[in-house]
Structure formats: C-alpha cells, structure tokens
A and B are shown apart, each in its own frame.
Chain A
C-alpha cells in the first residue's frame, strides 16, 4: 500500500485546539531557539548555509523568509538568467553588507560546494523534481517550490529518493503552516466534524495550459540566458522569449499541469492533510458541471470544484463531515457550521505567528533531521491525486488507481501517462 505521510510527531500541531484536556488554541511552537543554538549571536557551526536555485518572484519571497532567520547564511545563487543572478546577488550582498554571494549559471556547480547545507529551489516547475533529486544525491537538504513533480512516477521517485539519501525535504506548501488552514484540517482530521464525507479543493481552472513550441527567435548568448539549461529535462524546443516567463511544464499533446496541479498542489495538499495524509484517492471521474469527483478508499470524496465557494480568498478548501463543516481561504478567514467548533475562540484569534514559519519549520528539521510539514511523502500523495485527476480530465473518463501497485487498474492509456522521459542528459 501507499504509505501514510509522516504525521510530524515533532510537534502536536494544534492538538490542544480540539483535544479533550484543553481547548485553547495553541500555535505550533517551534523548538526553543536556545536548544538549537540560534539564540543570541549564532555560532558559525550552528548556521545553515543556503544556496538558491532559480530565484524569481516567488523565490524572492522565500528568500526574504530565509534571510530573516539569524541562523541562515545565504552564500550563492544559480540562475540561467544573468539578470536574475545579479538581482539576487544584490539582495544577499546588501543584506550581509558584503559582496560574497557567488553566482552560478549551472546549479551543479553550486551543488558541488561542500560548504552548502541546503538549497532553496524556486525554478519553474519543469525543473523542480529533477533539481530536487540532483540536490539530494549531492547531499543537500532542500526547500522546493511547488508543484514539485510533473507526473506520478516522479512523485514516487521523489519520496523514495529523499528517504534513501536521508535528506530533509520541504515542499513550498506553506499553507500547512498557516494557522486557520491548520485549524480547519485539524477539525476534519480529529473527527470534530463527524465522519468525514467530502473534502473540496479549488483547482482554479480545469483546463489545459498550452505553451509548447513557439516561433523560433534568436537565442541569446549563453551567459545572458542559458536556453539549454532553462529547458533542462523538458523536451527540446527553440528559444522564444515568451516561454521564459510562462514555461512551467512541457506542454502540448494534451496532458499538462494546468490549474489542477498549479493550485491543487496547495489545496489538494490541504485536503490530504484533512484526511490524515492517507494514500490518495482510488477513483477519479470525468469532470461534470465544473466538478471532478474523486473517491478515497474509505468512501470520502475529494471534489475539485470550480464554483460555489464562499468568498474567502484564493486557494479555498472545504471539509464536510456528518455533523459539521468548515471552509477556509487565503483571506485568513474561515466559516464554520457551528461556533462551537471554535471552542470558544473568534476566527480572528486563530493566528498570530508569521508566514515565515514554513521556512523556520524546514530549518529546524535540517538541524534535528525530523520531518517538516511539507515532507516528501505528503507532497507525493497530494501530487499523485492531482496527476491522476489530470489524467481523468485528459482522457475525459473515469480512471481507477491502485495504491498498492501505483497503477491504474486495467487501463493501459492511463498507465502510459504515469511517467515521461526526460531530455538527455537528465535523469532522476
């Protein structure tokens, strides 16, 4: 059987929110700074030396969170784009008041540095899995933006590789460390909503995203934009500047990541947390009326739903049990079927710790070697659910998934879509 993702035993997240002994809302406390040697002036031996790979808009936000941490020393950046290399170097150098941030065009040269403990991977999703596994094999821990994988096979290999190499992996699913989402998931997971019947995720568009093979344009100098490295594991196509800002997946031929994966890697991930990070659903139906319904082994439904959401901001999720429901979104608000579920608190009270906690969670685990919230197994299960839903969407029919063999049952076409060759010389 597919495994249960680690339940993060290191901190009993929000347990007291709904526990029998107490009902106070407890933020997920991090390990005391002094216990990990990061109070006061952090000794060099206690620092986590970090390098960045592909730091753009989202990565820039992540980088800010890393730089805030006293025990982080950001020493190098790799980017195939000269301009971005320079921009990130400037940010780091300005932060430290020196000019020591090294720049690389090929991330393998960055990984060769023995002084670097961990990497922040925020390339386009085309590179995420390949870069992450290359980093793991080079002995680096990693915080990797999502979507992490391009297909089911990559998802499985990712979790196996992280285990085999003994690396700490944190997917950029930062909502696992946002208090109201955590609270909502906890309500579902601990039975406070009654036996769970339906979990809803917002795919933000169940359509193919096309980019593919555009009209060739003159290729820039390698030092300016290294097009070959930008393509990386994606099948070859000629240079076109438009692909530089939107080329997330190898598109064309129909099956793509699209909204199901782009947003699903967040909101399906939360649904997976709500169902206890169990193996992904076993049945996925063709979309109908803006909904794609999948079903877990125990009958609980995972529903990708386009419309009908309470306006609570982007990335909404909804969990329905026999006796109650909760819906939450990026606005930081949530709506519940009964105020009693709040155990005497106002919605606004559930919160109060910084969004950088996901990064802090990762760094603590780099030191303790425990499992962070967005660990590889959790990410693997959530991504498989998204990929399988995409396959049902692409084939426009039901597919059934066997978590023991990780195959679609009696379905050659669906099984052929579980993996895809990487462009040479890249491998997982």
Chain B
C-alpha cells in the first residue's frame, strides 16, 4: 500500500532534512565575500554596547549572513539568559565546525535551562562528536538535562548514540526513561528508513518490553509491526485483540498503513470475532483499505448481527460497495429501524458501480409499497434518467408513491418534459399533490441550464393557469431569474389582475440584480396602486444600497428615487444609501436634498457625514459644504479626552488640529486609537469627550469609540 511507502519516505525525509543541516555545516557558504560586509556590520553591533534588543535582532540576521567569523561573538551570548536563545538561532544555522564547537563548549560549562538549549541545538545539528558528552549528561541529576540529552542522541542516531540509548534504557532512573525510549524510537526509525529493518525491530521490541509510559509502548509497537513487514501481521492482530484500548486504537491506525493484501482476510476474521463496539470500528478501518478490503465480510456484517456493527458496515459500503451489495442494501433500507434504513438509503444514493442505475430502473418496473417509494427516491437522488418509468407512478393510488415520483421528476426531468410538472401544478389530479408538485417544479426549473427557455415555458403556462397557481408560477419564475422571468414579472405587476399585481410587485421588490432597476422605477412611478408603488420603490432603493456600481450611477438612482415619491420614509432610506456609499456625487445630492420639504435636518446630517467620510480620503469638501449654506462657524476646542474610567488620554491637540470651520471633525483614521496615537485602555470600550465652543457658546459632547464626530450645536 501507498501508506507504508509513505511512512518509509517520511522517515527518509527526516534523515534527508537532518542531512541537509550536515551538508550546510561542511560546505562553505555561497558568496561569502558578498555578505562579508554585511556580516562585519552585524558583528560590530554585537561588539558594541548596543541595547539587548538590537543585539537580539542582529542574531536573527546572522542566521542568514553569519559565518565562522561570527561564531566567537555569538558564543559570548550563550551564557546570557536573555540572549542565549537568540544566539542559538544564529548558531544552529551557521555552517561549519566552529558553530558546533561553540555549542559543545557551552554544553560543557553551562547548567540548567541554558544547558538544555545547547543540548537541543547539538541534537538539531546532529553533532556526532557530542555523543560522549551527551552520554554523560544522560546521567545528569537534572531531569530536563538528562531528557534533552536522550532526545538529542536520538536525533544524532548513529551507532554510538544508539548503543548509548539502548544501554541507558535499562539503567536510567524511571523519570528519564520516557525520553530515552523516545530517543530509541528515533534511532529505530532511522535504521528502518535506511533499510536495516532487523536492527530497527530489535530496538522497537526492546522499548516495548521496557518499563516506560504507554505512549512509548504505542510508538514502539507501531514501529515493530511495520518494520517486520508481512511478518508483522501476527503482532498487528495480537494488538487488535489487546485488552488495552490504547493499543487497540493503535492497531486501528496502523492497519491503515500496512502494506499488501494478505492482512485483509485475517483482519476480517478478527473483526468477526471481536466485541461489537470494536468490530464497528474495525469495519471502518477495513473500508479505508479499498483496494484489498474483503467486501463479502463487510456485506455480511451489514446484513445481520449487532445493530451497531451493521450500521458501521452499511456506512462503509458507501465507500467500498458495488452492485453486488444492491439487493441487501435495498432490503435494509426498508427495515423498521430508522437509523439503519436511513444509512442504507444514503449508501444507496452514492453506491459505486456501473450497473447500479440500470438495476434500480429494472426493479422500478415491478416494485410496490415501500420498495416502490424507495426506488423512486433513489432515481431522484442518483439523478437517473428514467422519466418514462417515473411518470407511470405519478397517477398511482398510493400518495406516497405519487409524491416520490413527483420529487424524482423534479430532480431528473429535462426542459422538453418540464410540461409534465407544470401540468401537475396548474391542474393537479389529486389535491394533496399540489404542494409536492410545486416543490418538484421549482427544483426542476432552477436547475435548467437555459433559464430563459425555462422561463418562457413557465410564462406560457401563466396564461392558462387558474387563480392561486399564477402566484406559484410567478414565485418559481422569481427563483429562476434571468431576463425573460423579469419581463414576465414586470408584465404581471402592471396588469389589471390584482393577484398578479400583488405577486409581481412583491417578487420584483426582492429581485436580486440591478437589471430590475428600470422595471422597479417604472412601477414605482406608474404602478396601479400606491401600495405596489411603495413596494417597488423600496426594492429600487434596495438595489442602490446592495450592489456595487459607479458612484454617478448610484447617485442617479438615488435622485430618481427621491423624485419618485414625496414620502419621508423612502427619502430617509435614500439618504441612508448615500451615507453608506459616500461619494462626491452623493454629497451633491444630499446637499440638494436639503431643499426638499421636511428633509432639511436629515439631509444636512447626511451631508456632514458624507463630507467627513470622503474628506478623510483626501477629497476637498469645504467648497461644496459652504456653497450649501452650511454656514461656517467659529469652532473652538476647549478640551478633549479619550479613554475609559481613570485611563484618559488628553487628545485636545489632535482634535484642535483637525477642527475647521464646520461642526464636523475628520480624523486621520477611522480608528480613534490610530488617530490618537495608541490605545489608552486595551480591551475596554472607550469614549471620546469633547468640550467646545461654537460661535462662543459652550457645549460638550461624547462619542462612542470610532463614531463619527459631528458636534451638536450649543443648547
């Protein structure tokens, strides 16, 4: 199986990764001359009395530019608790023996956490010469040091390191044994990836038998199974039967990695003997081996036995089943157990196999009762082209059969046969079928690739449809969308039929594309009744609000909306749109709106808000505002504070700097924190309080964080 190759590749990958570090170490850095000047500049920082922060970042740069020349300066930082790890960032990356020696020397003298850092870096660099030192540190009284040494030896993984770890496994104190076992497993993995499976197996077995934590046993057991190749099958099966749940779980994972097909038969046999809660999980693992799974065993588990096992098996057949499973699944899908029946139907809907569709259609012709309903549902779910067969069921005496047939038609009928569903909606033979037929027609209509052709069919039916059905057809047309549907709805809304007017204007009002704008505007201006005109106008304004369009176009739409009615409510909606999409064109319109009766205050506020928004983006709005009769004021900022509770920041100067001769303050950023040079109280909701004078009259106002700053006139 691919997975085992994957495992080996991955182990090789680790070897390669570490080997590259070695390669870098023994190879001269490319273009050293090019970087030497940079390196000298960086070293000058380390040699200076620059602050620690500067030296820290210099270390990071030396990780790219450093050479042997940098090592002595970096080594000086290794005993520094603050800069030691920064220095190791560079030293782990710098090629050459000098960096190894520096880390090794530091590991001989340092203690505690700093020593652990050196050991970790020696492990990353796979410094073979450090094995004797690490072997000594393995016996250190400091558990962190001993554990780090064990893992570092595991990373080095040469013969000496492996020998040291295997010996230590039996001798180190219990507390350090887990890390030693981890190192052993790393060594074994390396040996396995290098092709020495026998040696790897020996180490894995040694760890399995050691007194180490269960997780180490799990890792060693996995390795022991895979390193043995096909000879690992008995151990795998034994692990499946382990009373320890963690080992059972390991077997579930490992069998998915196990190569070849020999294990599948034995796995199936083990599954059949396993307790139900385990068998259910084993079936899922079996199905994750689709190339070699014993299908008969899964099918047998699906057909009879423990309910939990059956459910798992029926689910698994969705991935590994074929047409041979069809008869059994069809039986299960009509059982009384709802969970089993539902799972079986889900599996049937996706069951692989070239002949499955044909067999379902064949069975359809002789089916009855629950089976008939099931088969019709499967026709729909699998989108089987069997319209002629399904049509025979549309007039069946059993409503469940009729409804299943209608829904199947909804999923499968073509445009040419759409009329069969239209007729069921316009003139249903059975009254109870009407809602189902409508649902089916909607399903069919919205999936037609040529929606205009579909809309034409539906529009044609509209002419002869009885009251009630007309609304249904219009709603379906609305779901279909497109030019033809839009035209049909427009015609309906403008007709002299109240039902059509109502449905047409309602559906146009929620039309979801700007193509509807002219239709809605026309209806808003010339509609047959006030309530429909309002509905259309709101839909029109909604388009201007929702959709991306050039600023002039949006402003033009808003202007037309303002002109189309005298109602304040819709005027305010227009002003909201202008504020939501601020632009120069919108500002001009808002200023013009100030002259409309009853709209002056709202339009003035909108103009100021728009002005502030676009002013913040560099647009000069002063001339427009001044020309609008928004009289200039004498504005004086007395004091401004920003913050929460006792944490207040004086922002008077910032506000003063931004204040002009209008009662609006535009900050450099929409964020108060950014505008005021930082957050005075992180994580807390803040307020801005301003004391000011307008034309020498005092006033005060508060603004929620990031709110628009429009200063109310003094009372």
Q: Do A and B originate from a single complex?
A: yes
Q: Using a CB-CB cutoff of 8 Å, which residues 401-418 of chain B contact chain A?
A: 411
Stretch at the interface among B211-219, B422-430, B645-653: B211-219
Residues of A near B6 (CB, < 8 A) are 3-4
Residues of A near B504 (CB, < 8 A) are none
A160 in contact with B11 (CB, 8 Å): yes
Residues of A near B569 (CB, < 8 A) are none
Q: How far is the CA of A11 from the CA of B17 in the complex (A)?
A: 33
Q: How far is the CA of A343 from the CA of B81 in the complex (A)?
A: 63
Residues of A near B636 (CB, < 8 A) are none
Q: Using a CB-CB cutoff of 8 Å, which residues 527-571 of chain B contact chain A?
A: 548
B84 contacts chain A at the CB level, 8 A cutoff: yes
Min CB gap A264→B, angstroms: 22
Binary contact readout A329-373 vs B (1 if CB under 8 angstroms, 0 otherwise): 000000000011011111000000000000000000001111100
Residues of A near B281 (CB, < 8 A) are 36, 367-369
Q: How far is the CA of A282 from the CA of B11 in the complex (A)?
A: 21
Residues of A near B319 (CB, < 8 A) are 9-12
B219 in contact with A166 (CB, 8 Å): yes
B64 in contact with A416 (CB, 8 Å): yes
B285 in contact with A406 (CB, 8 Å): no
Stretch at the interface among A218-226, A237-245, A268-276, A286-294: A237-245
A245 in contact with B218 (CB, 8 Å): no
B311 contacts chain A at the CB level, 8 A cutoff: yes
B43 contacts chain A at the CB level, 8 A cutoff: no
Residues of A near B311 (CB, < 8 A) are 32, 34-35
Min CB gap B682→A, angstroms: 7
B343 contacts chain A at the CB level, 8 A cutoff: yes
Known contacts A153-B17, A346-B447, A368-B285; is A424 also within 8 Å of B383 by CB? no
A425 contacts chain B at the CB level, 8 A cutoff: yes
Q: Among B30, B354, B447, which residue has the most Cβ atoms of chain A within 10 A? A: B447
Binary contact readout A240-254 vs B (1 if CB under 8 angstroms, 0 otherwise): 011001000000111
B85 contacts chain A at the CB level, 8 A cutoff: yes
Residues of B near A33 (CB, < 8 A) are 339
Stretch at the interface among A22-30, A119-127, A170-178, A196-204: A22-30
Known contacts A344-B383, A369-B285, A405-B16; is A237 also within 8 Å of B315 by CB? no
B256 in contact with A235 (CB, 8 Å): no
Stretch at the interface among B169-177, B245-253, B592-600, B697-705: B245-253
Q: How far is the CA of A3 from the CA of B353 in the complex (A)?
A: 30
Binary contact readout A160-171 vs B (1 if CB under 8 angstroms, 0 otherwise): 100111101000
Closest to A403 in B: B13
A10 in contact with B284 (CB, 8 Å): yes
- From B13, B92, B380, A2 is in contact (CB under 8 Å) with B13
Known contacts A213-B53, A420-B92; is A370 also within 8 Å of B113 by CB? no
Min CB gap B147→A, angstroms: 9
Stretch at the interface among A94-102, A180-188, A407-415: A407-415
B581 contacts chain A at the CB level, 8 A cutoff: no
B117 in contact with A26 (CB, 8 Å): no
B280 in contact with A36 (CB, 8 Å): yes
A425 in contact with B17 (CB, 8 Å): no
Min CB gap B225→A, angstroms: 11
A35 in contact with B85 (CB, 8 Å): no
Residues of B near A42 (CB, < 8 A) are none
B114 in contact with A424 (CB, 8 Å): yes
Binary contact readout B135-168 vs A (1 if CB under 8 angstroms, 0 otherwise): 0000000001000100100000000000000000
Min CB gap B659→A, angstroms: 30
A138 in contact with B215 (CB, 8 Å): yes
Residues of B near A213 (CB, < 8 A) are 52-53, 56-57
- From A4, A236, A252, B60 is in contact (CB under 8 Å) with A252
Residues of A near B57 (CB, < 8 A) are 212-213, 252-253
B14 in contact with A156 (CB, 8 Å): yes
B227 contacts chain A at the CB level, 8 A cutoff: no
Binary contact readout B38-65 vs A (1 if CB under 8 angstroms, 0 otherwise): 0000000000000011001101110110
B509 contacts chain A at the CB level, 8 A cutoff: no
Q: Using a CB-CB cutoff of 8 Å, which residues 110-145 of chain A contact chain B?
A: 137-139
Closest to B92 in A: A421
Q: How far is the CA of A370 from the CA of B255 in the complex (A)?
A: 10
A416 in contact with B24 (CB, 8 Å): yes
B24 in contact with A10 (CB, 8 Å): no
A311 contacts chain B at the CB level, 8 A cutoff: yes
Residues of A near B17 (CB, < 8 A) are 153, 156, 406
Min CB gap B103→A, angstroms: 10
A323 contacts chain B at the CB level, 8 A cutoff: no
- From B53, B185, B307, A164 is in contact (CB under 8 Å) with B185
B682 in contact with A242 (CB, 8 Å): yes
Closest to A216 in B: B53
Residues of B near A344 (CB, < 8 A) are 383, 447-449
Closest to B245 in A: A45
Residues of A near B120 (CB, < 8 A) are 421-422, 424-427
A397 contacts chain B at the CB level, 8 A cutoff: no
- From B27, B89, B256, B307, A369 is in contact (CB under 8 Å) with B256
Q: How far is the CA of A137 from the CA of B148 in the complex (A)?
A: 14
Min CB gap A269→B, angstroms: 19
Closest to B93 in A: A416
Closest to B310 in A: A35
Residues of B near A236 (CB, < 8 A) are 56, 81-86
Min CB gap A127→B, angstroms: 15
B284 in contact with A235 (CB, 8 Å): no
A37 contacts chain B at the CB level, 8 A cutoff: yes
A419 in contact with B349 (CB, 8 Å): no
Residues of A near B694 (CB, < 8 A) are none
A322 contacts chain B at the CB level, 8 A cutoff: no
Q: How far is the CA of A404 from the CA of B30 in the complex (A)?
A: 22
Residues of B near A396 (CB, < 8 A) are none
Q: How far is the CA of A29 from the CA of B316 in the complex (A)?
A: 11
B285 in contact with A412 (CB, 8 Å): no
Residues of A near B357 (CB, < 8 A) are 21-22
B312 in contact with A35 (CB, 8 Å): yes
- From A253, A339, A411, A425, B113 is in contact (CB under 8 Å) with A425
- From B63, B218, B246, B249, A416 is in contact (CB under 8 Å) with B63
A103 contacts chain B at the CB level, 8 A cutoff: no
B339 in contact with A34 (CB, 8 Å): yes
Residues of A near B81 (CB, < 8 A) are 236
Q: How far is the CA of A157 from the CA of B30 in the complex (A)?
A: 27
Binary contact readout B464-483 vs A (1 if CB under 8 angstroms, 0 otherwise): 00000000000000000000
Q: How far is the CA of A416 from the CA of B62 in the complex (A)?
A: 10
B285 in contact with A425 (CB, 8 Å): no
Residues of B near A342 (CB, < 8 A) are 447
Residues of A near B10 (CB, < 8 A) are 3, 159-160, 163
Q: Using a CB-CB cutoff of 8 Å, which residues 110-144 of chain B contact chain A?
A: 113-114, 116-117, 120-121, 123-124, 144
B382 contacts chain A at the CB level, 8 A cutoff: yes
- From A36, A164, A345, A424, B116 is in contact (CB under 8 Å) with A424
- From B95, B144, B287, A10 is in contact (CB under 8 Å) with B287
Residues of A near B249 (CB, < 8 A) are 166, 369
Q: Using a CB-CB cutoff of 8 Å, which residues 583-607 of chain B contact chain A?
A: none
- From A166, A345, A404, A415, B447 is in contact (CB under 8 Å) with A345
Binary contact readout B1-33 vs A (1 if CB under 8 angstroms, 0 otherwise): 011001101110110110010001001011100
Show the binding face of A for B, using Cβ within 8 Å: 1-4, 6, 9-12, 15-16, 21-24, 26, 29, 31-37, 39, 137-139, 153, 156-157, 159-160, 163-166, 168, 212-213, 235-237, 241-242, 245, 252-255, 311, 339-340, 342-346, 367-371, 404-407, 410-413, 415-417, 419-427
A-B contact pairs, 22 of them (CB 8 A): A6-B3, A10-B288, A12-B319, A16-B349, A21-B356, A36-B312, A139-B246, A156-B17, A165-B219, A236-B86, A253-B57, A253-B61, A340-B449, A346-B446, A406-B13, A410-B30, A417-B64, A421-B120, A424-B113, A424-B114, A425-B113, A426-B120
Beyond the given A16-B382, A417-B63, could you list 18 further A-B residue pairs with CB under 8 A, ordered by the A residue number? Answer: A21-B352, A22-B349, A32-B339, A34-B339, A139-B218, A164-B189, A237-B56, A245-B682, A255-B60, A340-B449, A344-B448, A346-B446, A406-B16, A406-B20, A407-B16, A415-B20, A415-B24, A419-B93
